Chains A and B, each alone.
Chain A
């Protein structure tokens, strides 16, 4: 019982255990919900819903929102669940962060200014969100769910996610810093 409990209160598990867990989760998600695990369309929906609250119903007429439909659906709930699941694991393992604005790797290269980190995070988020919808998926939809189905679009995307990411990270940490 105690070891069982320790398993859940551990801050981290072996990456292989986590990966196999996500793989099994993908079986269940296909079998029960008939859907692959994916997240990035939800951000596009959420953005459209926020715009709809400000500007009204006509926002839904935009071609892209007609395509993805502005409603709370299965994937929307999945993304909400990710926040909750991570929160539960963090709380159980005493790893929930309070007041952390700047990650330590960032501090080592660029100092501890929260303002700088937030500005860069917003810029990165804009590029990431745009790129995710451009590519039709992200690290979960293409990178895990698509590659495990052997989709050609997803293998190409996953490879180029990392090519773009590895080059950019090296530029940021070895040239700019």
Chain B
């Protein structure tokens, strides 16, 4: 009886730790991500706005090389059955109107949600006092308006959580390889153009 009770207690402790383990991995991935964002210079307003003014192509270089690297690995692991994709469903209303609103905020603030966390770590006070407060307010306003938006504009032109290969009804690699080649060509072109 005693041992049974003991093992039940142990089980809850192990459950508790198992429960927290994903959080620790999240923290670890975040630390690495933040470290890389700072090393890339994208925790800085000047670099991000420089990209939007088309005078500094650091952001595009980082994003495209992350996408090409990530895509090949993710589709490789998917084809082996190691992972499942995690796709966001979308609509014309969400992904065009919402993204344009985001773009305006991106330029006005000069940081995005990931890079502002990096900018805070980097010590920028406009990010901590201004940007963070603004983002919290903006997402809160969205939460309040959500019941009205969800059956209206967010649904306009809904297309679900599809990938480009599924949309075109082709094998994944028929899209992955040309997209990878195009991204690499684009990066070479950007580099050679001295951007």
Contacts and interface: CB of A to CB of B under 8 A. Distances in A.
Interface of A: 10-13, 15-37, 39-40, 42-44, 46-48, 50-51, 62-65, 67, 72-90, 93, 95-106, 114, 117-170, 172-173
A145 B49 CA distance: 22
A157 B99 CA distance: 5
B189 interface: no
B100 A160 contact: yes
A159 B126 CA distance: 27
A20 B180 CA distance: 13
Given A78-B26, A89-B35, A27 B137 contact: no
Contacts of B121: 82-90
Contacts, number: 527
A39 B77 contact: no
28 contacts: A18-B65, A24-B73, A30-B83, A47-B136, A74-B22, A79-B117, A81-B27, A81-B28, A83-B30, A84-B34, A85-B32, A88-B34, A95-B122, A128-B106, A128-B135, A131-B99, A135-B99, A136-B89, A138-B113, A142-B95, A148-B66, A153-B90, A153-B159, A154-B95, A157-B95, A159-B99, A162-B103, A165-B104
A154 B67 CA distance: 12
Interface of B: 22-41, 43-46, 49-50, 52-54, 58, 61-71, 73-75, 77, 82-91, 94-127, 129-144, 146-147, 149-150, 154, 159, 161-165, 167, 172, 175-176, 179, 187
B105 A103 contact: no
Contacts of B125: 97, 99-101, 114
Given A128-B106, A153-B161, A31 B77 contact: yes
Nearest to B121: A86
Nearest to A16: B65
Given A90-B122, A126-B141, A46 B23 contact: no
